[in-house]
Amino acid sequence: MSDPAASVKLETRNLDFHYGTTRALKNVSLSCLANKVTAIIGPSGCGKSTFIRTLNRMNDVIPGTRLEGQILLDGKDIHDPDVDVVDVRRRVGMVFQKPNPFPKSIFDNIAYGLRINGTRERKTIEAAVERSLRRAALWDEIKDRLEANAFALSGGQQQRLCIARALAVEPEVILFDEPCSAIDPIATAKIEDLIHALKKSYTVVIVTHNMQQAARVSDLTAFMMLGELIEYDATEKVFTSPSSRLTEDYITGRFG
Amino acid sequence: MKTSTRKKIVQTVAFIVLRGCLYLVLAVLLLFLYDIGKKGGGAISWEFLSQAPRKGMTAGGIFPAIVGTFLVTVTTALLAVPLGMSAAIYLNEYARQARLTRLIRLAIRNLSGVPSIVYGLFGVILFVNIMRFGTSILSAGLTLGLMTLPWTITASEEALKTVPNSYREGALALGATKWQSIRTNVLPYAVPGMLTGTVLGLARAAGETAPILFTGAAFFLPYLPKSLGDQFMALPYHLYIMATQHHQIQQVRPLAYGTALVLVAMVLGMNMAAFVIRFRLRRKRR
Protein backbone atom coordinates (compact mmCIF):
# COMPACT_ATOMS: atom_id res chain seq x y z
CA MET A 1 0.00 0.00 0.00
CA SER A 2 1.45 3.35 1.01
CA ASP A 3 4.75 1.76 1.94
CA PRO A 4 5.70 -0.97 -0.48
CA ALA A 5 8.86 -1.77 1.48
CA ALA A 6 6.87 -2.96 4.51
CA SER A 7 6.60 -6.71 4.74
CA VAL A 8 3.43 -8.70 5.34
CA LYS A 9 3.39 -10.20 8.84
CA LEU A 10 -0.11 -11.57 9.09
CA GLU A 11 -2.47 -12.18 6.24
CA THR A 12 -5.92 -13.64 5.70
CA ARG A 13 -7.00 -15.13 2.40
CA ASN A 14 -10.66 -15.65 1.51
CA LEU A 15 -11.58 -15.98 5.14
CA ASP A 16 -15.10 -17.20 5.91
CA PHE A 17 -16.41 -17.71 9.43
CA HIS A 18 -19.69 -19.24 10.54
CA TYR A 19 -21.46 -19.29 13.89
CA GLY A 20 -23.75 -22.24 13.32
CA THR A 21 -25.72 -21.17 10.24
CA THR A 22 -24.79 -17.47 10.49
CA ARG A 23 -22.02 -16.36 8.18
CA ALA A 24 -20.11 -13.75 10.17
CA LEU A 25 -17.15 -13.21 7.81
CA LYS A 26 -17.44 -13.26 4.05
CA ASN A 27 -14.37 -13.80 1.98
CA VAL A 28 -12.11 -11.44 3.91
CA SER A 29 -8.61 -11.03 2.49
CA LEU A 30 -6.44 -8.59 4.40
CA SER A 31 -2.71 -8.16 5.00
CA CYS A 32 -1.32 -6.71 8.20
CA LEU A 33 2.12 -5.19 7.71
CA ALA A 34 5.02 -5.58 10.08
CA ASN A 35 5.61 -2.59 12.39
CA LYS A 36 2.40 -0.94 11.31
CA VAL A 37 -0.85 -0.37 13.15
CA THR A 38 -3.84 -1.74 11.26
CA ALA A 39 -7.21 -0.48 12.48
CA ILE A 40 -10.44 -2.27 11.75
CA ILE A 41 -13.56 -0.14 11.94
CA GLY A 42 -17.18 -0.75 11.18
CA PRO A 43 -20.66 -0.68 12.71
CA SER A 44 -21.59 -3.03 15.56
CA GLY A 45 -22.05 -6.58 14.38
CA CYS A 46 -19.95 -6.10 11.24
CA GLY A 47 -17.66 -8.97 12.23
CA LYS A 48 -14.62 -6.96 13.26
CA SER A 49 -14.32 -8.65 16.66
CA THR A 50 -14.91 -12.04 15.07
CA PHE A 51 -12.21 -11.24 12.56
CA ILE A 52 -9.56 -10.23 15.08
CA ARG A 53 -10.32 -13.28 17.23
CA THR A 54 -9.65 -15.56 14.26
CA LEU A 55 -6.11 -14.18 14.04
CA ASN A 56 -4.96 -15.95 17.22
CA ARG A 57 -7.53 -18.75 16.93
CA MET A 58 -9.46 -17.56 19.97
CA ASN A 59 -12.68 -18.52 18.21
CA ASP A 60 -11.57 -22.15 18.43
CA VAL A 61 -13.01 -22.23 21.95
CA ILE A 62 -16.51 -21.25 20.81
CA PRO A 63 -18.56 -24.36 20.06
CA GLY A 64 -20.46 -24.65 16.79
CA THR A 65 -18.20 -22.44 14.70
CA ARG A 66 -16.56 -23.13 11.36
CA LEU A 67 -13.74 -21.42 9.53
CA GLU A 68 -12.75 -21.54 5.87
CA GLY A 69 -9.88 -19.87 4.05
CA GLN A 70 -6.36 -19.20 5.19
CA ILE A 71 -4.64 -17.18 7.90
CA LEU A 72 -0.93 -16.86 7.27
CA LEU A 73 1.54 -15.83 9.95
CA ASP A 74 4.91 -15.23 8.29
CA GLY A 75 3.52 -17.13 5.32
CA LYS A 76 2.58 -20.21 7.34
CA ASP A 77 -1.08 -21.17 7.75
CA ILE A 78 -1.89 -21.13 11.47
CA HIS A 79 -4.41 -23.91 10.95
CA ASP A 80 -1.87 -26.32 9.45
CA PRO A 81 -1.87 -29.62 11.30
CA ASP A 82 1.76 -29.21 12.33
CA VAL A 83 1.10 -25.81 13.88
CA ASP A 84 0.44 -25.77 17.63
CA VAL A 85 -2.37 -23.42 18.58
CA VAL A 86 -0.60 -22.69 21.87
CA ASP A 87 2.41 -21.49 19.90
CA VAL A 88 0.22 -19.29 17.68
CA ARG A 89 -1.31 -17.62 20.72
CA ARG A 90 2.08 -17.01 22.28
CA ARG A 91 3.29 -15.33 19.09
CA VAL A 92 0.05 -13.43 18.55
CA GLY A 93 -0.91 -11.74 21.81
CA MET A 94 -4.30 -10.28 22.57
CA VAL A 95 -5.72 -7.48 24.70
CA PHE A 96 -9.43 -7.77 25.33
CA GLN A 97 -12.26 -5.28 25.30
CA LYS A 98 -12.79 -5.36 29.04
CA PRO A 99 -9.63 -5.29 31.15
CA ASN A 100 -9.30 -8.84 32.45
CA PRO A 101 -6.59 -8.92 35.09
CA PHE A 102 -6.42 -12.20 36.95
CA PRO A 103 -7.22 -12.06 40.66
CA LYS A 104 -3.55 -12.28 41.54
CA SER A 105 -0.90 -9.77 42.43
CA ILE A 106 0.33 -7.35 39.78
CA PHE A 107 3.61 -9.24 39.65
CA ASP A 108 1.95 -12.64 39.22
CA ASN A 109 -0.29 -11.28 36.47
CA ILE A 110 2.71 -10.28 34.38
CA ALA A 111 4.64 -13.40 35.31
CA TYR A 112 1.73 -15.66 34.38
CA GLY A 113 2.56 -16.03 30.70
CA LEU A 114 6.23 -16.69 31.42
CA ARG A 115 5.47 -19.29 34.05
CA ILE A 116 3.03 -21.27 31.93
CA ASN A 117 5.60 -21.22 29.15
CA GLY A 118 8.12 -22.81 31.46
CA THR A 119 10.24 -19.96 32.81
CA ARG A 120 11.16 -20.70 36.42
CA GLU A 121 14.15 -18.51 37.33
CA ARG A 122 13.04 -15.70 39.60
CA LYS A 123 15.63 -13.28 38.17
CA THR A 124 14.48 -13.78 34.58
CA ILE A 125 10.86 -13.30 35.60
CA GLU A 126 11.61 -10.19 37.63
CA ALA A 127 13.50 -8.66 34.72
CA ALA A 128 10.67 -9.48 32.30
CA VAL A 129 8.06 -8.03 34.65
CA GLU A 130 9.92 -4.75 34.94
CA ARG A 131 10.63 -4.57 31.21
CA SER A 132 7.00 -5.26 30.32
CA LEU A 133 5.61 -2.77 32.80
CA ARG A 134 8.00 -0.11 31.51
CA ARG A 135 6.96 -0.76 27.94
CA ALA A 136 3.34 -0.52 28.98
CA ALA A 137 4.12 2.82 30.67
CA LEU A 138 2.89 1.51 34.00
CA TRP A 139 6.15 0.90 35.89
CA ASP A 140 6.46 4.32 37.53
CA GLU A 141 2.90 4.23 38.83
CA ILE A 142 3.05 0.82 40.45
CA LYS A 143 6.68 -0.19 40.98
CA ASP A 144 6.25 0.10 44.77
CA ARG A 145 3.24 -2.18 44.99
CA LEU A 146 3.92 -5.12 42.70
CA GLU A 147 2.51 -7.46 45.32
CA ALA A 148 -0.83 -5.62 45.49
CA ASN A 149 -3.85 -7.30 43.93
CA ALA A 150 -4.39 -6.29 40.33
CA PHE A 151 -8.04 -5.53 41.06
CA ALA A 152 -6.90 -2.60 43.18
CA LEU A 153 -5.78 -0.75 40.01
CA SER A 154 -8.01 1.68 38.12
CA GLY A 155 -9.66 0.54 34.88
CA GLY A 156 -7.08 2.26 32.69
CA GLN A 157 -4.21 0.86 34.74
CA GLN A 158 -5.77 -2.60 34.56
CA GLN A 159 -5.87 -2.38 30.78
CA ARG A 160 -2.21 -1.33 30.64
CA LEU A 161 -1.45 -4.20 32.99
CA CYS A 162 -3.12 -6.53 30.49
CA ILE A 163 -0.99 -5.02 27.73
CA ALA A 164 2.13 -5.55 29.86
CA ARG A 165 1.02 -9.12 30.50
CA ALA A 166 0.70 -9.70 26.77
CA LEU A 167 4.12 -8.11 26.12
CA ALA A 168 5.85 -10.25 28.74
CA VAL A 169 5.72 -13.39 26.59
CA GLU A 170 7.46 -11.52 23.74
CA PRO A 171 4.79 -11.86 21.05
CA GLU A 172 5.33 -10.74 17.48
CA VAL A 173 1.84 -9.45 16.84
CA ILE A 174 -0.52 -7.79 19.33
CA LEU A 175 -4.26 -7.76 18.76
CA PHE A 176 -6.38 -5.14 20.50
CA ASP A 177 -10.09 -5.86 20.61
CA GLU A 178 -11.71 -2.46 21.37
CA PRO A 179 -9.20 -1.89 24.17
CA CYS A 180 -10.58 1.48 25.24
CA SER A 181 -14.32 0.93 25.18
CA ALA A 182 -14.48 0.41 28.95
CA ILE A 183 -12.03 3.18 29.86
CA ASP A 184 -12.21 6.95 30.48
CA PRO A 185 -10.76 9.46 27.95
CA ILE A 186 -7.54 10.23 29.84
CA ALA A 187 -6.69 6.54 30.21
CA THR A 188 -7.64 6.09 26.55
CA ALA A 189 -5.09 8.74 25.52
CA LYS A 190 -2.38 6.88 27.42
CA ILE A 191 -3.22 3.62 25.74
CA GLU A 192 -3.24 5.26 22.33
CA ASP A 193 0.24 6.69 22.99
CA LEU A 194 1.28 3.23 24.00
CA ILE A 195 -0.05 1.62 20.83
CA HIS A 196 1.80 4.21 18.83
CA ALA A 197 5.03 3.35 20.60
CA LEU A 198 4.50 -0.40 20.34
CA LYS A 199 4.57 -0.50 16.55
CA LYS A 200 8.33 0.04 16.61
CA SER A 201 8.72 -3.51 17.88
CA TYR A 202 5.46 -5.23 17.04
CA THR A 203 2.79 -5.64 14.42
CA VAL A 204 -0.39 -4.18 15.82
CA VAL A 205 -4.01 -4.83 14.86
CA ILE A 206 -6.72 -2.88 16.62
CA VAL A 207 -10.48 -3.16 16.41
CA THR A 208 -12.29 0.00 17.38
CA HIS A 209 -15.71 1.54 16.96
CA ASN A 210 -14.19 4.93 17.60
CA MET A 211 -13.23 6.44 14.24
CA GLN A 212 -11.16 9.25 15.75
CA GLN A 213 -9.16 6.61 17.53
CA ALA A 214 -8.56 4.71 14.30
CA ALA A 215 -7.46 7.93 12.61
CA ARG A 216 -5.13 8.79 15.49
CA VAL A 217 -3.33 5.51 16.04
CA SER A 218 -3.33 3.58 12.78
CA ASP A 219 -1.30 3.53 9.60
CA LEU A 220 -3.81 1.45 7.70
CA THR A 221 -7.54 1.22 8.13
CA ALA A 222 -9.94 -1.50 7.11
CA PHE A 223 -13.66 -0.78 6.94
CA MET A 224 -15.95 -3.76 7.42
CA MET A 225 -19.68 -4.08 7.07
CA LEU A 226 -21.96 -7.11 7.47
CA GLY A 227 -19.00 -9.45 7.50
CA GLU A 228 -17.41 -8.05 4.34
CA LEU A 229 -14.22 -6.08 3.95
CA ILE A 230 -15.42 -2.96 2.11
CA GLU A 231 -12.24 -0.98 1.94
CA TYR A 232 -8.65 -1.29 3.10
CA ASP A 233 -6.09 1.43 2.54
CA ALA A 234 -3.77 3.92 4.17
CA THR A 235 -5.60 5.52 7.08
CA GLU A 236 -5.23 9.01 5.65
CA LYS A 237 -6.70 7.91 2.35
CA VAL A 238 -9.64 6.10 3.98
CA PHE A 239 -10.57 9.11 6.09
CA THR A 240 -10.02 11.83 3.47
CA SER A 241 -10.98 10.29 0.16
CA PRO A 242 -12.54 6.88 0.61
CA SER A 243 -13.10 5.00 -2.59
CA SER A 244 -16.29 3.32 -1.45
CA ARG A 245 -19.56 5.12 -0.94
CA LEU A 246 -20.32 2.91 2.07
CA THR A 247 -17.08 3.91 3.77
CA GLU A 248 -17.79 7.55 3.15
CA ASP A 249 -21.29 7.27 4.58
CA TYR A 250 -19.94 5.56 7.67
CA ILE A 251 -17.06 7.89 8.44
CA THR A 252 -19.18 10.98 7.85
CA GLY A 253 -21.70 9.62 10.33
CA ARG A 254 -24.59 8.94 8.00
CA PHE A 255 -25.12 5.55 9.64
CA GLY A 256 -23.58 3.22 12.18
CA MET B 1 -53.90 7.70 47.84
CA LYS B 2 -50.87 8.86 45.89
CA THR B 3 -49.12 6.18 43.90
CA SER B 4 -45.80 6.87 45.59
CA THR B 5 -47.28 6.40 49.06
CA ARG B 6 -48.96 3.21 47.94
CA LYS B 7 -45.72 1.87 46.51
CA LYS B 8 -43.96 2.55 49.78
CA ILE B 9 -46.63 0.75 51.78
CA VAL B 10 -46.45 -2.26 49.44
CA GLN B 11 -42.68 -2.33 49.86
CA THR B 12 -42.88 -2.14 53.65
CA VAL B 13 -45.44 -4.93 53.77
CA ALA B 14 -43.32 -7.10 51.46
CA PHE B 15 -40.25 -6.58 53.66
CA ILE B 16 -42.21 -7.50 56.80
CA VAL B 17 -43.53 -10.68 55.17
CA LEU B 18 -40.11 -11.73 53.92
CA ARG B 19 -38.47 -10.99 57.26
CA GLY B 20 -41.27 -12.90 59.01
CA CYS B 21 -40.54 -15.95 56.87
CA LEU B 22 -36.87 -15.79 57.79
CA TYR B 23 -37.64 -15.54 61.50
CA LEU B 24 -40.11 -18.41 61.21
CA VAL B 25 -37.47 -20.70 59.71
CA LEU B 26 -34.92 -19.62 62.31
CA ALA B 27 -37.44 -20.15 65.09
CA VAL B 28 -38.16 -23.71 63.96
CA LEU B 29 -34.44 -24.49 63.80
CA LEU B 30 -33.74 -22.97 67.21
CA LEU B 31 -36.71 -24.75 68.80
CA PHE B 32 -35.47 -28.00 67.33
CA LEU B 33 -31.92 -27.48 68.63
CA TYR B 34 -33.24 -26.34 72.01
CA ASP B 35 -35.41 -29.44 72.38
CA ILE B 36 -32.59 -31.83 71.48
CA GLY B 37 -30.14 -29.89 73.63
CA LYS B 38 -32.43 -29.89 76.65
CA LYS B 39 -33.36 -33.55 76.48
CA GLY B 40 -30.01 -34.85 75.32
CA GLY B 41 -27.65 -32.52 77.17
CA GLY B 42 -28.00 -34.53 80.36
CA ALA B 43 -26.77 -37.69 78.70
CA ILE B 44 -23.56 -36.13 77.44
CA SER B 45 -20.55 -37.01 79.51
CA TRP B 46 -17.01 -38.15 78.88
CA GLU B 47 -18.17 -41.71 79.49
CA PHE B 48 -20.98 -41.32 76.96
CA LEU B 49 -18.53 -40.13 74.29
CA SER B 50 -15.72 -42.58 75.04
CA GLN B 51 -17.38 -45.87 76.03
CA ALA B 52 -19.24 -48.59 74.19
CA PRO B 53 -22.89 -49.27 75.04
CA ARG B 54 -23.43 -51.63 77.98
CA LYS B 55 -26.26 -53.65 79.54
CA GLY B 56 -28.27 -54.13 76.37
CA MET B 57 -27.62 -50.51 75.36
CA THR B 58 -29.35 -49.14 78.42
CA ALA B 59 -26.10 -47.76 79.75
CA GLY B 60 -22.63 -46.81 78.57
CA GLY B 61 -21.83 -44.64 75.59
CA ILE B 62 -21.77 -44.30 71.82
CA PHE B 63 -18.08 -44.29 71.06
CA PRO B 64 -18.23 -47.10 68.44
CA ALA B 65 -21.01 -45.26 66.62
CA ILE B 66 -18.97 -42.05 66.51
CA VAL B 67 -15.97 -43.94 65.15
CA GLY B 68 -18.15 -45.81 62.62
CA THR B 69 -19.79 -42.66 61.31
CA PHE B 70 -16.41 -40.99 61.04
CA LEU B 71 -14.86 -43.89 59.09
CA VAL B 72 -17.84 -44.19 56.74
CA THR B 73 -17.84 -40.46 56.08
CA VAL B 74 -14.13 -40.56 55.22
CA THR B 75 -14.75 -43.47 52.81
CA THR B 76 -17.61 -41.51 51.28
CA ALA B 77 -15.37 -38.48 50.84
CA LEU B 78 -12.62 -40.56 49.21
CA LEU B 79 -15.08 -41.62 46.50
CA ALA B 80 -17.26 -38.55 46.14
CA VAL B 81 -14.72 -35.74 46.30
CA PRO B 82 -12.20 -36.66 43.59
CA LEU B 83 -14.78 -38.27 41.32
CA GLY B 84 -17.32 -35.49 41.77
CA MET B 85 -14.85 -32.67 41.20
CA SER B 86 -13.33 -34.38 38.17
CA ALA B 87 -16.74 -35.04 36.65
CA ALA B 88 -17.70 -31.41 37.20
CA ILE B 89 -14.49 -30.18 35.57
CA TYR B 90 -15.10 -32.44 32.59
CA LEU B 91 -18.74 -31.42 32.23
CA ASN B 92 -18.15 -27.71 32.58
CA GLU B 93 -14.77 -27.26 30.89
CA TYR B 94 -14.30 -30.03 28.35
CA ALA B 95 -17.59 -31.62 27.30
CA ARG B 96 -19.18 -30.21 24.17
CA GLN B 97 -22.36 -28.50 25.27
CA ALA B 98 -24.49 -30.68 23.05
CA ARG B 99 -27.65 -32.68 23.67
CA LEU B 100 -25.84 -35.63 25.25
CA THR B 101 -24.15 -33.37 27.81
CA ARG B 102 -27.48 -31.77 28.68
CA LEU B 103 -28.99 -35.22 29.06
CA ILE B 104 -26.18 -36.33 31.37
CA ARG B 105 -26.58 -33.18 33.42
CA LEU B 106 -30.32 -33.76 33.68
CA ALA B 107 -29.71 -37.34 34.78
CA ILE B 108 -27.33 -36.13 37.50
CA ARG B 109 -29.88 -33.63 38.78
CA ASN B 110 -32.49 -36.39 38.87
CA LEU B 111 -30.17 -38.75 40.71
CA SER B 112 -29.89 -36.24 43.52
CA GLY B 113 -33.63 -36.63 43.99
CA VAL B 114 -33.65 -40.42 44.25
CA PRO B 115 -34.74 -41.51 47.75
CA SER B 116 -31.85 -42.68 49.92
CA ILE B 117 -33.42 -46.10 50.55
CA VAL B 118 -33.14 -46.78 46.82
CA TYR B 119 -29.41 -46.08 47.02
CA GLY B 120 -29.30 -48.44 49.99
CA LEU B 121 -30.86 -51.30 48.03
CA PHE B 122 -28.67 -50.54 45.03
CA GLY B 123 -25.63 -50.66 47.33
CA VAL B 124 -26.63 -54.08 48.64
CA ILE B 125 -26.87 -55.47 45.15
CA LEU B 126 -23.76 -53.87 43.70
CA PHE B 127 -21.24 -53.61 46.52
CA VAL B 128 -22.38 -56.26 49.00
CA ASN B 129 -23.42 -59.00 46.58
CA ILE B 130 -21.95 -58.52 43.13
CA MET B 131 -18.61 -57.02 44.19
CA ARG B 132 -18.56 -59.15 47.35
CA PHE B 133 -17.46 -56.40 49.74
CA GLY B 134 -19.98 -57.83 52.21
CA THR B 135 -21.76 -55.68 54.76
CA SER B 136 -18.89 -53.41 55.62
CA ILE B 137 -17.61 -49.88 55.99
CA LEU B 138 -16.45 -50.08 52.39
CA SER B 139 -19.89 -51.03 51.02
CA ALA B 140 -21.67 -48.43 53.12
CA GLY B 141 -19.14 -45.71 52.31
CA LEU B 142 -19.33 -46.41 48.58
CA THR B 143 -23.14 -46.41 48.72
CA LEU B 144 -23.15 -43.06 50.49
CA GLY B 145 -20.51 -41.88 48.03
CA LEU B 146 -22.78 -42.69 45.10
CA MET B 147 -25.60 -40.87 46.82
CA THR B 148 -23.42 -37.81 47.43
CA LEU B 149 -21.90 -37.71 43.93
CA PRO B 150 -24.79 -35.84 42.23
CA TRP B 151 -24.61 -33.15 44.90
CA THR B 152 -20.84 -32.88 44.64
CA ILE B 153 -20.95 -32.68 40.86
CA THR B 154 -23.72 -30.10 40.77
CA ALA B 155 -22.16 -27.93 43.48
CA SER B 156 -18.72 -28.14 41.84
CA GLU B 157 -20.11 -27.26 38.44
CA GLU B 158 -21.93 -24.25 39.87
CA ALA B 159 -18.65 -23.16 41.47
CA LEU B 160 -16.83 -23.49 38.12
CA LYS B 161 -19.55 -21.45 36.41
CA THR B 162 -18.90 -18.53 38.74
CA VAL B 163 -15.34 -18.17 37.37
CA PRO B 164 -15.52 -15.52 34.64
CA ASN B 165 -14.76 -16.69 31.12
CA SER B 166 -12.26 -13.84 30.77
CA TYR B 167 -9.89 -15.74 33.11
CA ARG B 168 -9.93 -18.73 30.75
CA GLU B 169 -9.58 -16.64 27.59
CA GLY B 170 -6.93 -14.44 29.16
CA ALA B 171 -4.80 -17.46 29.96
CA LEU B 172 -5.33 -19.07 26.55
CA ALA B 173 -4.37 -15.84 24.80
CA LEU B 174 -1.00 -15.93 26.58
CA GLY B 175 -0.25 -19.36 25.18
CA ALA B 176 -1.60 -21.53 27.98
CA THR B 177 -2.92 -24.96 27.11
CA LYS B 178 -6.48 -25.65 28.08
CA TRP B 179 -5.43 -27.68 31.11
CA GLN B 180 -2.97 -24.97 32.19
CA SER B 181 -5.70 -22.36 32.02
CA ILE B 182 -8.02 -24.57 34.07
CA ARG B 183 -5.42 -25.59 36.62
CA THR B 184 -3.85 -22.20 37.21
CA ASN B 185 -6.62 -19.78 36.40
CA VAL B 186 -9.95 -21.49 37.00
CA LEU B 187 -9.60 -24.10 39.74
CA PRO B 188 -7.95 -21.81 42.32
CA TYR B 189 -11.03 -19.59 42.22
CA ALA B 190 -13.56 -22.42 42.05
CA VAL B 191 -12.15 -24.67 44.77
CA PRO B 192 -13.61 -22.78 47.76
CA GLY B 193 -17.10 -23.11 46.30
CA MET B 194 -16.45 -26.72 45.29
CA LEU B 195 -15.32 -27.61 48.80
CA THR B 196 -18.28 -25.91 50.42
CA GLY B 197 -20.76 -27.81 48.29
CA THR B 198 -18.89 -31.05 48.82
CA VAL B 199 -18.70 -30.76 52.59
CA LEU B 200 -22.41 -29.93 52.72
CA GLY B 201 -23.09 -33.10 50.74
CA LEU B 202 -20.86 -35.13 53.05
CA ALA B 203 -22.61 -33.72 56.11
CA ARG B 204 -25.88 -34.89 54.66
CA ALA B 205 -24.41 -38.34 53.97
CA ALA B 206 -23.07 -38.59 57.54
CA GLY B 207 -26.60 -38.25 58.86
CA GLU B 208 -28.23 -40.80 56.53
CA THR B 209 -29.65 -44.07 57.81
CA ALA B 210 -31.29 -45.81 54.87
CA PRO B 211 -28.21 -46.29 52.65
CA ILE B 212 -26.18 -47.90 55.44
CA LEU B 213 -29.05 -49.96 56.85
CA PHE B 214 -28.40 -52.99 54.64
CA THR B 215 -24.86 -52.27 53.52
CA GLY B 216 -22.88 -52.37 56.74
CA ALA B 217 -24.35 -50.75 59.82
CA ALA B 218 -24.61 -53.10 62.77
CA PHE B 219 -27.23 -53.14 65.48
CA PHE B 220 -24.60 -53.58 68.14
CA LEU B 221 -20.91 -54.43 68.06
CA PRO B 222 -18.87 -55.05 71.16
CA TYR B 223 -15.66 -54.08 69.36
CA LEU B 224 -14.46 -51.34 67.03
CA PRO B 225 -14.08 -52.08 63.29
CA LYS B 226 -10.54 -53.17 62.45
CA SER B 227 -10.63 -52.80 58.69
CA LEU B 228 -12.78 -51.42 55.88
CA GLY B 229 -14.25 -54.92 55.52
CA ASP B 230 -15.80 -54.88 58.99
CA GLN B 231 -19.30 -53.95 60.01
CA PHE B 232 -19.69 -50.82 62.08
CA MET B 233 -22.04 -48.91 64.31
CA ALA B 234 -23.20 -45.53 63.10
CA LEU B 235 -24.83 -42.62 64.87
CA PRO B 236 -27.96 -42.29 62.73
CA TYR B 237 -28.65 -46.03 62.80
CA HIS B 238 -27.95 -46.22 66.52
CA LEU B 239 -30.41 -43.37 67.04
CA TYR B 240 -33.03 -45.14 64.94
CA ILE B 241 -32.67 -48.28 67.07
CA MET B 242 -32.73 -46.42 70.36
CA ALA B 243 -35.78 -44.44 69.33
CA THR B 244 -37.92 -47.18 67.79
CA GLN B 245 -36.48 -50.68 68.10
CA HIS B 246 -35.28 -50.95 71.67
CA HIS B 247 -37.31 -53.08 74.09
CA GLN B 248 -37.02 -50.46 76.84
CA ILE B 249 -37.71 -47.33 74.88
CA GLN B 250 -38.67 -45.18 77.86
CA GLN B 251 -35.50 -46.05 79.71
CA VAL B 252 -33.10 -45.34 76.86
CA ARG B 253 -34.83 -42.17 75.67
CA PRO B 254 -32.22 -39.83 77.26
CA LEU B 255 -29.48 -41.84 75.53
CA ALA B 256 -31.33 -41.51 72.22
CA TYR B 257 -31.53 -37.75 72.67
CA GLY B 258 -27.87 -37.67 73.60
CA THR B 259 -27.04 -39.55 70.39
CA ALA B 260 -29.18 -37.13 68.39
CA LEU B 261 -27.36 -34.20 69.96
CA VAL B 262 -23.96 -35.63 69.03
CA LEU B 263 -25.11 -36.35 65.46
CA VAL B 264 -26.59 -32.88 64.98
CA ALA B 265 -23.48 -31.29 66.47
CA MET B 266 -21.31 -33.30 64.06
CA VAL B 267 -23.35 -32.29 61.00
CA LEU B 268 -23.56 -28.65 62.08
CA GLY B 269 -19.84 -28.74 62.76
CA MET B 270 -19.15 -29.94 59.23
CA ASN B 271 -21.40 -27.26 57.79
CA MET B 272 -19.63 -24.61 59.83
CA ALA B 273 -16.30 -25.99 58.65
CA ALA B 274 -17.50 -25.62 55.05
CA PHE B 275 -18.25 -21.96 55.59
CA VAL B 276 -14.97 -21.37 57.39
CA ILE B 277 -13.04 -22.99 54.53
CA ARG B 278 -14.80 -20.82 52.00
CA PHE B 279 -14.33 -17.68 54.05
CA ARG B 280 -10.64 -18.36 54.61
CA LEU B 281 -9.86 -19.17 50.98
CA ARG B 282 -11.86 -16.19 49.73
CA ARG B 283 -10.00 -13.86 52.03
CA LYS B 284 -6.68 -15.25 50.96
CA ARG B 285 -7.50 -14.43 47.33
CA ARG B 286 -8.27 -10.79 48.03
Residue contact A113–B177, C-beta within 8 A: no
Q: Is residue B51 part of a domain?
A: no
Express each pLDDT in B8-50 by its tens digit.
999 999 999 999 999 999 999 999 999 999 988 888 888 888 8
Q: Is residue B285 part of a domain?
A: no
> CA of B185 to nearest chain A CA: how many angstroms apart?
8
Q: Residue A222: left (phi > 0), alpha (psi -120 to 50), or beta?
A: beta
Q: Is residue B190 part of a domain?
A: yes
pLDDT in the model for residue B284 = 62
User: How many CB atoms sit inside 10 A of residue A54's CB?
Assistant: 24
pLDDT in the model for residue B253 = 86
The closest alpha carbon to B144, from B195, B201, B63, belongs to: B201
> CA of B168 to nearest chain A CA: how many angstroms apart?
10
B167 in contact with chain A, both atoms CB, cutoff 8 A: yes
Which range of residues forms the domain containing residue B213? 63-243
Q: Which residue among B167, B175, B286 places its CB closest to the CB of A116?
A: B175
Helical H segments across chain B, by residue range: 3-41, 46-50, 63-89, 99-111, 116-123, 137-161, 165-173, 178-185, 187-206, 210-213, 235-240, 249-285
ipTM of the complex: 0.89
Residue contact A90–B174, C-beta within 8 A: yes
Express each pLDDT in B38-92 by its tens digit.
988 888 888 888 888 877 777 788 888 999 999 999 999 999 999 999 999 999 9
pLDDT at A114 over 70: yes
The domain ranges of chain A are 8-95+169-251
Task: List B residues 82-141 in contact with A (Cβ-Cβ < 8 A).
Answer: 96-98
pLDDT at A5 over 70: no
What is the architecture of the domain spanning A8-95+169-251?
Answer: 3-Layer(aba) Sandwich (3.40)
Residue contact A98–B169, C-beta within 8 A: no
Residues of B in contact with A102 (CB under 8 A): 167, 170-171, 185
pLDDT at A3 over 60: no
A118 in contact with chain B, both atoms CB, cutoff 8 A: no
Name the amino acid, one letter, at B91. L
Q: Between the CA of residue A220 and those of A8, A40, A55, A235, B168, what are the distances in Å?
A: 13, 9, 17, 4, 31
In sequence order, what are the beta bridge partners of A175?
A: A94, A205
pLDDT in the model for residue A251 = 87
Report, as an integer, the average pLDDT of B258-284: 85
pLDDT in the model for residue B197 = 87
Q: Which residue has the higher pLDDT, B98 or A67?
A: A67
First to last CA, chain B: 49
B183 in contact with chain A, both atoms CB, cutoff 8 A: no
Report, as an integer, the average pLDDT of A112-126: 92
Report, as an integer, the average pLDDT of A196-218: 92
pLDDT at B220 over 90: no
Give the global pTM. Answer: 0.83
Express each pLDDT in B129-166 by its tens digit.
999 898 899 999 999 999 999 999 999 999 999 999 99
pLDDT in the model for residue B226 = 84
DSSP string, chain A: ---TTSPEEEEEEEEEEEETTEEEEEEEEEEEETT-EEEEE-STTSSHHHHHHHTTTGGGGSTTEEEEEEEEETTEETTSTTS-HHHHHHHEEEE-SS----SSBHHHHHHHHHHHTT---HHHHHHHHHHHHHHTT-HHHHGGGTTSBGGGS-HHHHHHHHHHHHHHT--SEEEEESTTTTS-HHHHHHHHHHHHHHTTTSEEEEE-S-HHHHHHH-SEEEEEETTEEEEEEEHHHHHHS-SSHHHHHHHTTS--
pLDDT at B281 over 90: no
A78 in contact with chain B, both atoms CB, cutoff 8 A: no
Q: Tell me what percent of the residues of chain B surpass a pLDDT of 90.
A: 53
Residue A17 CB burial class (10 angstroms; 0-12, 13-18, ≥19): buried
pLDDT at B285 over 70: no
Domain total of chain B: 1
| Nearest-Cα residue of chain B relative to residue A174 | B173
Residue contact B167–A113, C-beta within 8 A: no
Residues of A in contact with B100 (CB under 8 A): none
| Residue B80's CATH number | 1.10.3720.10
pLDDT in the model for residue B1 = 66
Residue contact B176–A116, C-beta within 8 A: yes
The answer to whether A141 touches A150, Cβ cutoff 8 Å, is no
pLDDT level of residue A256 (50, 70, 90 thresholds): low
pLDDT in the model for residue A164 = 94
Q: Tell me what percent of the residues of chain A surpass a pLDDT of 90.
A: 72
Name, in order, each residue with C-beta under 8 angstroms of B249's C-beta and a sequence gap of 6 or more. B242, B243
Q: Is residue B231 part of a domain?
A: yes
Residues of B in contact with A103 (CB under 8 A): 167, 189, 285
Q: Tell me what percent of the residues of chain A surpass a pLDDT of 70.
A: 97
A94 in contact with chain B, both atoms CB, cutoff 8 A: yes
Q: Which residue has the higher pLDDT, A256 or A57?
A: A57
Residue A236 CB burial class (10 angstroms; 0-12, 13-18, ≥19): middle
Q: Which residue has the higher pLDDT, B92 or B223?
A: B92
Query: What is the residue-averaged pLDDT of chain A?
Result: 91
